Copies of this chain bind each other. A is one copy, B any other.
Amino acid sequence: MAEALTSEAILAATEEVLRRYGPAKATVVDVAKALGVSHGSVYRHFATKAVLREAVTRRWLDAIHEEMEKEFDPNLSAGDLLRDWLQRLFDKKRLSHTEDVELFTTFRTLVGENSAVIEYHLDHLVGQVARIIRAGVDTQEFVTDDVEKTAQAVWDATQVFHHPAHAQEWGNPHIQDAFDAVVSLVVAGLRYNRTPSATGDA
């Protein structure tokens, strides 16, 4: 009865319990036990188990966002900026997958439980891609008449390297070559792209 129970402490304990038991076995009772309180106390801070899980998920994704937010090096071309940014994202995902598959799978499940959180996460990251592309358009390195749409296309074209459904492929020894080939293709496309309506025929 020393310290008051905080939402933050509950989130940390929940993360620990999820890490230990996995998403299928982790219960609110486990969280309460880890904190030395009754499970009723947890419900004073989070209305339902689903809300608690969502909060943990959001917390985790925010950490990724922060890491990907790094300032851009103004000496690099937009192509290299984009390449570096995608490489950084890929390295982060791949590392977190190979270092602890079970934890990775746990968070994949959590994210999959709440499509609102996914949308928030993707919007943020695609927004960062859009920022890089806009910089490239400003310096006339890139050509596009719809930055948002093109950013989404770059995101879609690189799904293999960040979508969790493709995580098992990240262990392939040639995956970095595949990444380089796709990113080169995409960057080349950005330097010489016309949107569908403008291409029509060859």
With known contacts A185-B150, A188-B194, A202–B160 Cβ distance under 8 A: no
Q: Which A residues fall within an 8 A CB radius of B? A: 76-80, 141, 149-150, 152-154, 156-160, 163, 165-166, 177-178, 180-196, 199, 201-202
Q: Are A192 and B192 in contact (CB-based, < 8 A)? A: yes
- Name which residue of chain B comes closest to A200, CB basis: B80
Q: Which of A163, A180, A184, A187 has the most CB of B within 10 A?
A: A184
Q: Which of A141, A157, A195 has the most CB of B within 10 A?
A: A157
Report the Cα distance A188→B184, complex, angstroms. Answer: 12
Smallest CB–CB gap between A30 and chain B, Å?
30
Contacts of A149 in B (CB 8 A): 177, 181
A interface: dominant SS: helix
20 A-B pairs whose Cβ atoms sit less than 8 Å apart in the complex = A76-B202, A77-B202, A79-B202, A149-B181, A152-B178, A152-B181, A153-B178, A153-B184, A156-B181, A157-B157, A181-B195, A183-B196, A184-B189, A184-B193, A184-B199, A185-B186, A185-B189, A187-B199, A189-B192, A191-B192
Contacts of A183 in B (CB 8 A): 196
Smallest CB–CB gap between A38 and chain B, Å?
40
Q: Are A160 and B166 in contact (CB-based, < 8 A)? A: no
Q: Which of A77, A190, A191, A196 has the most CB of B within 10 A?
A: A196
Q: Are A185 and B181 in contact (CB-based, < 8 A)? A: no
Known A185-B189, A188-B190; 5 more pairs at CB < 8 Å: A78-B202, A152-B181, A157-B185, A180-B196, A181-B196
Q: Are A184 and B178 in contact (CB-based, < 8 A)? A: no
Smallest CB–CB gap between A171 and chain B, Å?
13
Contacts of A178 in B (CB 8 A): 152-153, 156
Report the Cα distance A136→B165, complex, angstroms. Answer: 32
Contacts of A184 in B (CB 8 A): 153, 189, 193-196, 199
